[in-house]
Amino acid sequence: MIGVRRAATAAAAVLLVPFAARSAAPATAAPVSVPVQSRAVSFQVHNTNRSMVPCASDGAAYTIVGHLVGPAAPPGAESTARPVVLDLHGLGFGEFFWSFDAVGGYDWARTLAERGVASVVIDRIGYGRSGHPPGAQSCIGAQADVAHQIVQQLRSGGYALEGGDAVKFVRVALAGHSAGGAITQVEAYSFRDVDGVMVLSFSDLVGSLRTYTALTQAVVVCLGGGNPPGHAPFGQSDADFQALMFHDADPKVIAAVTARRNPEPCGDDASLLAAIATDVREVPSITVPVLLLIGDHDAVFPPPALQSQPRLFAGSHDVTAVTIPDTGHAVTVERSAGVTRDAVISWLCGHAFCAADPANH
């Protein structure tokens, strides 16, 4: 069973709400499945750092690319204000973490769209097809600032959307996986412009020895100039990466994800401890609804990571903590991915981030 813990405050007693046990297949049975649109998006941003986490950035202009994946709007309703979730991947990943289609049944963004949730999935700055600052001039604080700029453009319609005018979104939630979870938290308390926060597979207070070893090795590579220059992998070998990311995943998925992994900008690795130190002080100021989700076999943030993280969110009166059984760090591509998506969709729809009537979209 999956324990979903809800509390009036993060420190209060919690109620356990059971979900159905996972099946062996990753696919999720959708009560309502609607037509889906996936359109390319691009955002013009500056690699500045106005967040509460002190770290270096170059201030230059870059383009962030990705896709808006959501329920297809009926004719004439394309400009209707709707909710959206901006998804931020973690170390080693890219947009593909949320839209993985090399093996069937794991496309997070498309499955959420079929259930009425619109998502923006991107390569974060310094990753994949998006703009790449010098590796030492990217950092967690600047990543949060770039996320803030994207949030503002999603609200104003000030971004480029393939095939038409950009949609203005009236409600924006921020979701982050792993280091993307740290960025999500920093954005939320630094800029206070999102309506909900989802933190997947991340803890400020509990990290494994394997995690700190991988980060230390990355710093050593960076001190030597990087590989490639200004960058370093999280997990020096493919085997190291796989041991950190997976617990129960299809071998075909493991191979395909490993082949797509991205090295991290050195500044992102170097600023993580500063972000965590700031989180401990500032996360209690976050007041919007929060979902915390983690696998019970997460090798990066092992138990009791989920027991400790809700305590930081003392300022929110709506904190939900979910543990997914038999699941490692890369929750969107484990065999339990369907159960993870069900839990997330349930939370999003319960917090007004689904289309009001998915069957009509």
Assign a CATH topology to domain 2-12+27-360.
Answer: Rossmann fold (3.40.50)
- In sequence order, which residues have a C-beta less than 8 Å from that of residue 23 and are 6 or more positions away? 338
pLDDT of residue 82: 86
Distance separating alpha carbons of residues 43 and 49, to the nearest angstrom: 17
Task: Determine the pLDDT at residue 232.
Answer: 95
| Ranges of the chain with pLDDT below 50 | 1-30, 357-361
pLDDT score at 79: 53
Specify the pLDDT at position 13. Answer: 28
Res 76: pLDDT: 54
Task: Cite the DSSP H helix spans in the chain.
Answer: 108-114, 140-156, 179-191, 209-223, 238-245, 251-260, 266-282, 305-308, 337-350
Residue 122: what pLDDT?
98
Q: Global pTM?
A: 0.90
Are 7 and 13 spatial neighbours (Cβ–Cβ below 8 Å)? yes
What local confidence, expressed as pLDDT, does residue 32 receive?
59
**Tokens of residue 147, six digits:** 């996320």
Please report the pLDDT score of residue 77 as a whole number: 56
Spatial separation of the C-alpha atoms in residues 188 and 182, rounded to whole Å: 10
